[in-house]
Amino acid sequence: MLNIVKVSSDEQFNEVGAGLVAGLLQSNPRAILGLATGSTPVGVYSQLIELFQKGLISFAQTRSFNLDEYIGLAPDHPESYRRFMNEKLFNHIDIDMRNTHVPDGTAADPEQAALEYTRMLDEAGQIDLQLLGIGHNGHIGFNEPADELQAHTHVVELKKDTRAANARFFNSVDEVPTHAMTMGIGSILKSRQILLMAKGASKADILKRALTGPLTTQCPASLLQTHPNVVILVDQAAGGRLS
Ligand code: F6R
């Protein structure tokens, strides 16, 4: 079931997003979080840091699994997703770094590293709350539109439009890695609850297509329609085509 929450300010967006995570941690301090990078969740992470600093939540017993990482970027590379997570969240809260997992972008054998990530996810059992953004082409994680989608963590070649969209973080589009490692659609859909977040008018069309259009591997986010518990958090612009 899809529950749409449309908010009217950034502040509300961050409060609702962080509120969902905080509520979960308060009822289950050992919850397993699935985390996303990108621009959309940054304010939610800041709000979580604030709630932690006020003593309202603790991540001490929490484990986290990130969706994806660029192949070839070391953990300390300014644009690696590991560094993003450390700087935007982990360094400011009480999570045990050993309990934070981000796919290894510099593994000598990425296919093997992907298998290992899947093994760790399987061992963890089930992600309690998976945070997601959505790409303009309907990708979730880095599961790009394709004729076939993968269930488990795997290496993926990034689409031209995804590299172009993410070029804003690099000096030029040529510096954006060509490949990434991403959790598969099966792992994402296995989560107990999913929070899909989107902001801005540029996401309005793809959200409409993903949430109300046909299920298709050409729009990976459309598969979220099959999940029993998805919260869609949007601002007025992103939610402009949703009723
Ligand atoms: C990030 C991720 C991506 C982004 C998506 C939207 O870990 O998996 O799917 O969520 O590309 O990115 P933003 O939020 O920058 O628009």
With respect to residue 53, please indicate whether it lies within any of the assigned structural domains.
yes
Q: Is the CB of 102 under 6 A from ligand 1?
A: no
Token digits of residue 208: 């409409």
Residue 155 within any structural domain of the chain: yes
pLDDT value, residue 75:
96
Q: Are 30 and 128 in contact (CB under 8 A)?
A: no
Backbone CA torsion sign across 238, 175, 64, 188: positive
- Cα of 134 vs centre of ligand 1, distance in Å, is 6
> For residue 2, what pLDDT is reported?
87
List the pLDDT tens digit at each of the 243 positions of the chain: 789 999 999 999 999 999 999 999 999 999 999 999 999 999 999 999 999 999 999 999 999 999 999 999 999 999 999 999 999 999 999 999 999 999 999 999 999 999 999 999 999 999 999 999 999 999 999 999 999 999 999 999 999 999 999 999 999 999 999 999 999 999 999 999 999 999 999 999 999 999 999 999 999 999 999 999 999 999 999 999 998
CATH number at 188 reads 3.40.50.1360
pLDDT at residue 243, rounded to an integer: 81
Indicate whether 144 belongs to any domain: yes
- Confirm whether 139 is a catalytic residue: yes
Ligand 1 lined by 68 (C-beta under 6 Å): yes
Query: Residue 36 Cα, ligand 1 centroid: separation in angstroms?
Result: 7
**Domain count across the chain:** 1
Whether 193 maps to a domain, the answer reads yes
Query: Domain range holding 170?
Result: 10-232
Asked if 52 and 59 count as a contact pair (C-beta separation under 8 A), the reply is yes
Cα of 24 vs centre of ligand 1, distance in Å, is 23
Residue 241 located in a structural domain: no
68 belongs to the catalytic site: yes
Per-residue confidence (pLDDT) for residue 166, from 0 to 100:
94
Inside any domain, residue 70 = yes
Which of the residues 139, 143, 166, 235 is marked catalytic? Answer: 139
25 Cβ closer than 6 Å to some ligand 1 atom: no
Tell whether 239 is covered by a domain: no
64 — phi, psi (to 5°)? -135, 150
The finding on whether 235 has its CB within 6 A of some atom of ligand 1 is no
Q: What does DSSP say about strands 129-132 and 179-182: parallel, antiparallel, or unpaired?
A: unpaired
Query: How many Cα atoms are found within 13 Å in the side-chain-facing hemisphere of 28?
Result: 11
Asked, for residue 139, whether it belongs to a domain, the answer is yes
